[in-house]
Structure 1
């Protein structure tokens, strides 16, 4: 994974440039206050990212002497919840099952790789005669960033020893204590959404009105969020003129909201009042995937299709055309999601677009249509946000936001930092709010075809890094 290759050098810091020595990055750290079912604090755990591994130190009191199973669970909720094995409500059932990013569906030893065992399977907690349990270990099964990231998940201590083989939890018995893993010295603001099937993919901001828009990949519903109060209202119901999905969103200079329609192959234009101005259909195809779009200084809106090798263009008169045949360029489409996020450079000369399945960032000249590879290494790159010559990339499956510094002509770039915030869940797209803040969708599209998403769905606002 790219984030692991870079973490020892630049996690939350800057890579060296022009021969200058890189500053020593601040270690990424997190803590968990360990509580019993009554909410009384009995200890703490600390997590420190060290290269590709995490140092974990745990101390918990009030336990029966002997060994106790201890695991990282999927959700950051130390609340009662249903145990699927017994269909009864149990203490800390809200934490869900063991954290299993490798989808192994198998409880195993802490030394087992994540393809064959839960990432959350940790060593036991040894409790002395005084009822105090202590553990200290380093593991590469979990991380504080990326696909194995445990931020905003929970550490659960069980009543019995762990046999490291019995599914689903090593015969460890009842959940006795629990703590949510929270990043230290970092803050964000979340905007929760009301629906249980929202899957917010796109985000756009109308700065003049203080409104944040987001759209549901599952239903096509568009929400309007008051950026100050967080109040959420439906801007337009899903299904409007056939729109069953809403992916990339952008607000143009007229305050109109543009919506990429995904597999329906459409581009919708909505008025600031939420009325449909026009629905544009791309050419008929068995596999359309209109994914993202961007208004450009030339007055046109450029649109990516992740399945068909073409860039569409919507002209100011709201007519759509196939603008660039990508099969005749260095961009080669393959299996999976191809071109995704797209932005126009402020000088009006080019577009930047990310190819999710290859991790390649491309520059397209708006005058000559010449295509140039800017850089690679951004696998799972989804939405883009360009801020001057700084490009932010939401890398969905990797669950980080990457920061790239671009050259003056936007023709080359360098990855300088990767940011997990307080624990990202499949981040899809980004928008700028004001001069210092960014907003990212926690889309959870990896759960759309199966799995249980964390609710409420949310957007997260944070300071630029």
Structure 2
């Protein structure tokens, strides 16, 4: 059974901050570099490098410089394609296997489904529709231009996508590629001087959502939004095993995950309205059920210093609480508080402050970050502007916010009592694919590339993966 997601947000039923962990056996990665720039080595179908393209972030857009050799004189269509694969694959336009078909179709961040002019807005034409490359009599082509249709970060981010140069001119009209002919050069757009480690996952249709770390065992857990299966990932070797199969015990999806002090894994069950508690060997301890409702969407949860576990529901305006003896009840009715539920995904990621005074939770459909006092239950807005805020991780006074459709991790600095927050940095990594949440691993972070925007349609980039990178 696939997870029921709110159609208004295209599969954005997202969540969870994962437990902070230290002492993982693998060392921290090298810190990120600035400024943001990228390079693509342009290869011919035989694999020979015959050019380069560079990309520099300038304001909201990018400055692109292309140099290539060995092409026929004249104009050549040039586009950014969806996938970071310069491999043979099926061209949807001809339904045949072609060189560089693995790059997929044109990058279309505005979901226009239409080939158009490079000046067209992304809601009208593909974001990947670029100016043509003019090649001289010596077979060399050079182009330099700036475009606001693309970026190295955010929804229009092109990191880990492909630049493709075609054999013919682009007519800027005909779908899907302007009749620009064969794909003659291809290069993956790779961020300069930045290192990450990916943990590939085995399921071709799993759509991972949550992540939690058990530092003592050196394991990260991630759960499938589509099946409810929970995987265990060895953080040293990268080996993946099935920790708990989905589909049983009422767990058709596994969203927010946490590991408690006893090593038990907690999983939010989404539309099933359940919270699952599993032993370190994967055996179920309890399946806790919220009141039956056609609108249930149990999304994330967090242990708090008071010994309770607090749970968000993205459809019903209530915070649930689980007591140490595993009794679940409605703890706070949000009706009448400043939090206003609206269509779509509402409260999502949730964390408890280390001093035990408050909960912090983000509302995905408004971009608001809220503070809930654990003693008085008073609700106050900390900040706004965290559009598409999903999973949260609190590290001292630093709050990391995963913003799924924005394809970034945002760093927020909080004041002493967590009543005010300021955005200080945003990180796209090597090109995030609808990230959902993150966890800490010593000096590193690990983020889930969930691709839930493709859960109800579209072809995900596989393998799905967790990505590890330095704290920033």
Normalised by the length of structure 2, the TM-score is 0.93
Length, aligned pairs only? 440
Equivalence for 2:24: none
Q: How does 1:357-368 map to 2 (within 5 A)?
A: 357-368=365-376
For CA contacts below 8 A with separation 6 or more, give which structure has more relative contact order: 2
Distance 2:99 2:314 in 1: 44
Do residues 446 (structure 1) and 453 (structure 2) align?
A: yes
1:242 counterpart SS class: coil
Do residues 464 (structure 1) and 467 (structure 2) align?
A: no
Do residues 280 (structure 1) and 288 (structure 2) align?
A: yes
Distance 2:68 2:152 in 1: 21
CA displacement 1:251-297 (0-9 Å, x = unmatched): 00000000000000000000000000000000111100000000000
Q: How does 1:25-424 map to 2 (within 5 A)?
A: 26-424=34-432
Distance 2:250 2:274 in 1: 10
Distance 1:355 1:243 in 2: 24
Distance 1:312 1:328 in 2: 16
Distance 1:53 1:242 in 2: 46
1:446 counterpart SS class: helix
Q: CA deviation at 1:26?
A: 3.7
Distance 2:275 2:203 in 1: 24
Q: Does the 8 A contact of 1:403 with 1:418 survive in 2?
A: yes
The gaps in structure 2 that reach 5 residues or longer are 1-32
Q: Does the 8 A contact of 2:313 with 2:319 survive in 1?
A: yes
The gaps in structure 1 that reach 5 residues or longer are 1-24
CA displacement 1:345-364 (0-9 Å, x = unmatched): 00011000000000000000
Q: Does the 8 A contact of 2:92 with 2:105 survive in 1?
A: no
Distance 2:133 2:93 in 1: 24
Distance 2:105 2:73 in 1: 25
Q: Does the 8 A contact of 1:224 with 1:232 survive in 2?
A: yes
Distance 1:251 1:284 in 2: 26
Normalised by the length of structure 1, the TM-score is 0.94
Distance 2:255 2:42 in 1: 39
Q: CA deviation at 1:244?
A: 0.8
Equivalence for 1:3: none
Distance 2:352 2:34 in 1: 33
Q: Does the 8 A contact of 2:222 with 2:230 survive in 1?
A: yes
Q: Does the 8 A contact of 1:27 with 1:50 survive in 2?
A: no
Equivalence for 1:10: none
Q: CA deviation at 1:52?
A: 0.9
